[in-house]
Amino acid sequence: MKHLLSLTLSFFIFVFITNLSLATSNDVEQVLDINGNPIFPGGQYYILPALRGPGGGGVRLGRTGDLKCPVTVLQDRREVKNGLPVKFTIPGISPGIIFTGTPLEIEYTKKPSCAASTKWLIFVDNVIGKACIGIGGPENYPGVQTLKGKFNIQKHASGFGYNLGFCVTGSPTCLDIGRFDNDEAGRRLNLTEHEVYQVVFVDAATYEAEYIKSVV
């Protein structure tokens, strides 16, 4: 436990650089939603597991560990739940086209009042020894290290769906994002050297419109 509590940002960077595969590919293609439509900056999308079933549902926010605010990104354990929609932004570009590998900011469209920001970030949870995804700012993680960088989307190795990655600012290394089950309200999304989280994107507006039609 003392070892975990003494983990530092430099240690995590060293581990990831030496052990994680690069979350980049030489094959660049436009990112599509589940219906084959291009993903565009500013649109709202659900991030869902590529393989639906007992593996859980979409991603949402929850409170974990000693954090006072529900700022940790969790995959809902219930496969029928879509979670909260996110929007993707290409820094410095208003419209643009999102390709695999494009540096992105990811944020929720809503946030709890206690969160400093809706934008995704990486924070280092020393208790469990994982670098996890959350929202907000450093003030939401007192005494906890946060990593600066940009997210990206990569085609999954299977050819179906995608996986998310994270590139640390000032480092050439891009890291994969997977899931970690800490017996909480949902599975955390975290930087990983193991199995990546295979996902698809569902346009929230289209989904809501189709749902309304189905119940009218």
All domains in the chain, ordered by first residue? 2-215 (2.80.10.50)
Q: Which spans in the chain are helix H?
A: 2-5, 9-19, 204-215
Res 19 pLDDT > 70: no
Confidence at residue 26, expressed as pLDDT on a 0 to 100 scale: 56
The answer to whether residue 66 scores a pLDDT higher than 50 is yes
Q: Measured between alpha carbons, how far is 135 from 110 in angstroms, rounded to an integer? A: 11
10 or 55, higher pLDDT = 55
Residue 47 near residue 201, CB atoms below 8 Å: yes
The token pair at 136 is: 């907000």
pLDDT on residue 174:
82
Number of Cβ within 10 Å of residue 29's Cβ equals 10
Percent of the chain at pLDDT exceeding 90: 72
Residue 75's pLDDT band, with cuts at 50, 70 and 90, is very high
Beta strands in 94-185 (DSSP E): 105-108, 120-125, 130-135, 146-147, 149-155, 162-168, 174-180
Q: What is the dihedral of CA 179, 82, 152, 92, to 10 degrees?
A: -140
Mean pLDDT of 125-154: 96
Task: State how far the Cα of 11 lies from the Cα of 1, in Å rounded to an integer.
Answer: 16
Cα separation, 138 vs 145, in Å, equals 8
Taking the C-alpha atoms of residue 94 and residue 110, their distance in angstroms, rounded to an integer, is 20
